[in-house]
Amino acid sequence: MRHHSGSVEVIVGSMFSGKTDELIRRLRRATIAKQKVQVFKPAIDIRYAESKVTSHAGSEYDALPIQTASQIPEVLDPETTVVAVDEAQFFNGEITLIVQQMADSGLRVIVAGLDTDFRGEPFGSMPTLMAQAERVDKLHAICMICGEEATRTQRLLDGKPANYNDPVVVIGASELYEARCRQHHEVPRD
């Protein structure tokens, strides 16, 4: 069953905000509706499973790990009607063009990723994807310091906030990151 027109949905937020759980929920609903679904994830994300998108809460869905976004059109099944990309912030700028091409061809494209990096700055192509999307949902976590809504991802090294000049991409989960509100998000500079 094809869609009448394509669309782009973007799910963003800090780590531990439920982005992947929401992505999986939408994919399961699409499957119930007899839609053909394909899911992609960056090959560098091997935190839980190599060939699955997996939430911190343990939900999972089969996915194809890819090195670059340009691989998506190469392996896209002609019968697919819903395409999902998890952790899209790890792909370079070509992801925006590929997502738009898929939506223009009538596909429902669901993208999930961090909107900001550990510094609190826009992360990769996510701002462009959000601007081009028909629907954007920003999810919130719970601040590990005060319990208020968290919109930031705090990177910790030996229990202390990472420095602004540290590398932007460091793959990890609760051993390296926690959710924080604006007030408790810290990024020291040298």
The confidence score (pLDDT) of residue 172 equals: 64
Residues 165/143, Cβ–Cβ less than 8 Å = no
**Closest to 47 in 3D by CA, of 142, 161, 170, 158:** 170
| Token code pair at residue 68 | 């670059």
Q: Which sequence positions are flagged as catalytic?
A: 87
Domains and CATH numbers, the chain: 7-141 (3.40.50.300)
Element (H, E) at 37: strand 37-42
Query: How far apart, in Å, are the Cα atoms of 62 and each of 12, 40, 122?
Result: 20, 9, 28
The confidence score (pLDDT) of residue 47 equals: 61
pLDDT digits (tens, 9 = 90+) for 81-133: 999 999 999 999 999 999 999 999 999 999 999 999 999 999 999 999 999 99
Output 157-164 pairs: Cβ under 8 A, ≥24 positions apart.
Answer: 161/186, 161/187, 161/188, 162/118, 162/187, 163/187, 163/188, 163/189, 163/190, 164/119, 164/188, 164/189, 164/190
CA 153 to chain centre: 13
Per the prediction, the chain carries an average pLDDT of 92
> Over 60: is that where the pLDDT of 171 sits?
yes
Mean pLDDT along residues 65-70: 96
